[in-house]
Structure 1
């Protein structure tokens, strides 16, 4: 497959002009190395996954950086493997005002206190997640959303023409053995795998950590720790409730989603599109497809996602609320291919409760036609990004 241009390229090019160090972080196999090597071909390159390279960097960080750096710049792949490098990087960029360094990592190493202190004010942080609709739709267009749910969006699925079931099985094993062990020294990988599957079964649900812990046979504190691992390694994200408190009876728990819906469907044992279309919680996994697409859109333009959900104690809810500078957009998500009047009940409730006449309402559904109605604009799942075009 030819190189597929990533939306993040624009932000990456501008960031390297403004910062001496730019970090491109994201899940393993999301295309970070391909992106930075393609854009900065005259930069020197070092991969800390290689044992001999990592040993050199660990034993003599200063010599490693001095011997690696070229006038044009340096790329350090999987930089979180040698955290002691970061304080030496600080010295290099402080002494050489023209220095340019790009770091990549499959963990959010910026959560490491020592690292964040060393690089404060010197680093631009970008996140590269798996492909979005916009990046692959012209080369790999799917008429049925179930195909995207099955395949997910990781580049190797499209690069190598591998069966998604085979690829995700190997991906999970690699993730467990490399990232999980390194982040938390988790040795009971069988139970952690079960925990992953239980999380996949809770997509789009309010996060009940006590219930999750009980079902997995672990303590609440362990469940919290394992969730933090999944977040730090870009497997899941938690969608927070909307902060405006209209009636003081809103739900305060976050909702759980997977960064990549293909990984979630693999964990759920969904082997083909027929399995997906007949899955008992098709609405939840379709919701994950749409929510993660919007989540990726924000990071692809270098912004933090300003997205929430709203739900009150009686169960009335809005699937997504997007906050822009001058307006709020509310989104309901339905997997059905035929529009039902009940689909608008959440939007109707929101408009009454919020009394926000400037809100724009959207319904994203599993069909193919776009429509405009008085209560909301209806968008096909394929056109979800039109929400951003209509600012």
Structure 2
């Protein structure tokens, strides 16, 4: 097992809550982390039909056999059990008895969240970060290899290539889950939709354009985006409201949460293709956004991430809201610093005045520097240098 940064957070939260719930995408390492934390306690997977039937037919009897606690895996498969678990932990009163895992699918986990409100802490676990891979000496050595492989643990625990693993992953989890939840009859159309989304990672979300290109209704496109977001396939980055007397874009930007999956959906078959791929910049920006999200989530902080763009096309790729202001971040995949990389940051900091804090450029090169008050970070430094910024408590 590759050690996860969130493990210390799970252990800390178990001291103050009867349960901790770990959510995240399928195959992101939730079960492995839960069983590592509770190595000496029973494990019950509610994906198993026999276990699920027992839990639903006799929930009190099921929980009475787990008096000292347990790992309950994929709890979204038996949401009815959560009301009985609520009563169980209330009557017992002890902290740290259960670790639950669940894929955050389209409202199922929200019902579980309500049942266990105040009784369970919630942690989102995304695929492996570059820091976690580096600490285990498994990080790819180049940027292209990093973007191409992504962070799903199976790609580092087994001798399997991304081009072989991702087709099975999409068929076994994403398509199955979405078909169950939305009763999609035309799976080919949904596959086309996901690939169209991949081609738009790092762009403003235009639901009408997506719907037209896929031949579906606007409402269907919205529902499919929602379930992909709830299943941690992608995320939406909202625009920040600070306008500085400018007209702002109001639509969110779309980002995939793993560039390995993104590359496979784009038809990229080898890391060497990334050197000249027309979407290299968008893939790199997607990776940086995902890595920074991991850094915040792994320490239990809500990432207050936004972007800023006015109606004239002036844009800041990422704004991080901190206790003292807004940190503007520009993301450039080029390996050589040039003057154009700094223009957007200089323009925005002039508009923002004292609100601007620690303007930063992240690029695809190797050097770290400071230029005219702008911090320059290489791609290897982004997560470790910026993931430690204290966010505004919410």
C-alpha separation in 2, matches of 1:46 and 1:109 = 23
CA shift digits 1:13-60 (9 cap, x unpaired): 111111112110011111111111111112211001112112222222
C-alpha separation in 1, matches of 2:214 and 2:53 = 38
| 8 Å contact from structure 1 (residues 364, 378) kept in 2 | yes
Among 66, 75, 81, the alignment partner of 2:77 is 81
User: Shift of the alpha carbon at 1:338?
Assistant: 0.5
What does residue 163 of structure 1 align with? Answer: 161
Which secondary structure state, in structure 2, belongs to the residue aligned with residue 126 of structure 1? Answer: strand
User: Shift of the alpha carbon at 1:62?
Assistant: 2.1
User: Shift of the alpha carbon at 1:187?
Assistant: 2.7
| 8 Å contact from structure 1 (residues 332, 347) kept in 2 | yes
| 8 Å contact from structure 1 (residues 25, 108) kept in 2 | no
Among 265, 268, 291, the alignment partner of 2:266 is 268
Return the TM-score normalized by structure 2. 0.94
Equivalence map 1:1-391=2 (5 Å): 3-67=1-65, 69-71=66-68, 73-98=69-94, 100-108=97-105, 112=109, 114-138=111-135, 139-356=137-354, 358-385=356-383, 386-389=385-388
| 8 Å contact from structure 1 (residues 237, 259) kept in 2 | yes
User: Shift of the alpha carbon at 1:108?
Assistant: 4.5
| 8 Å contact from structure 2 (residues 328, 356) kept in 1 | no
Unaligned runs of 5+ in 2: none
C-alpha separation in 2, matches of 1:152 and 1:186 = 28
Judge which range, 174-183 or 208-217, deviates more: 174-183
Backbone CA RMSD of aligned residues: 1.6
Per the alignment, do residues 239 and 358 of structure 1 end up closer, same or farther by CA in structure 2, a change over 3 Å counting? closer
C-alpha separation in 2, matches of 1:215 and 1:298 = 35
User: Shift of the alpha carbon at 1:374?
Assistant: 1.4
Per the alignment, do residues 275 and 39 of structure 1 end up closer, same or farther by CA in structure 2, a change over 3 Å counting? same
Per the alignment, do residues 170 and 121 of structure 1 end up closer, same or farther by CA in structure 2, a change over 3 Å counting? same
| 8 Å contact from structure 2 (residues 44, 51) kept in 1 | yes
Return the TM-score normalized by structure 1. 0.95
Unaligned runs of 5+ in 1: none
User: Shift of the alpha carbon at 1:186?
Assistant: 2.1
Judge which range, 82-91 or 352-361, deviates more: 352-361
| 8 Å contact from structure 1 (residues 26, 108) kept in 2 | no
Which secondary structure state, in structure 1, belongs to the residue aligned with residue 191 of structure 2? Answer: helix
Which secondary structure state, in structure 2, belongs to the residue aligned with residue 377 of structure 1? Answer: strand
C-alpha separation in 1, matches of 2:23 and 2:109 = 14
Per the alignment, do residues 34 and 390 of structure 1 end up closer, same or farther by CA in structure 2, a change over 3 Å counting? closer
CA shift digits 1:202-261 (9 cap, x unpaired): 011000001001111110100110011101111000001112232240111100001111
User: Shift of the alpha carbon at 1:112?
Assistant: 4.8
| 8 Å contact from structure 1 (residues 176, 189) kept in 2 | no
Per the alignment, do residues 116 and 34 of structure 1 end up closer, same or farther by CA in structure 2, a change over 3 Å counting? closer
| 8 Å contact from structure 1 (residues 206, 254) kept in 2 | yes
User: Shift of the alpha carbon at 1:322?
Assistant: 0.9
C-alpha separation in 2, matches of 1:388 and 1:152 = 18
Per the alignment, do residues 75 and 233 of structure 1 end up closer, same or farther by CA in structure 2, a change over 3 Å counting? same
Per the alignment, do residues 29 and 47 of structure 1 end up closer, same or farther by CA in structure 2, a change over 3 Å counting? same
User: Shift of the alpha carbon at 1:389?
Assistant: 4.3
User: Shift of the alpha carbon at 1:113?
Assistant: 5.3
Give 4+ residue runs of structure 1 displaced > 3 Å after superposition: 108-114, 388-391
C-alpha separation in 2, matches of 1:113 and 1:166 = 33
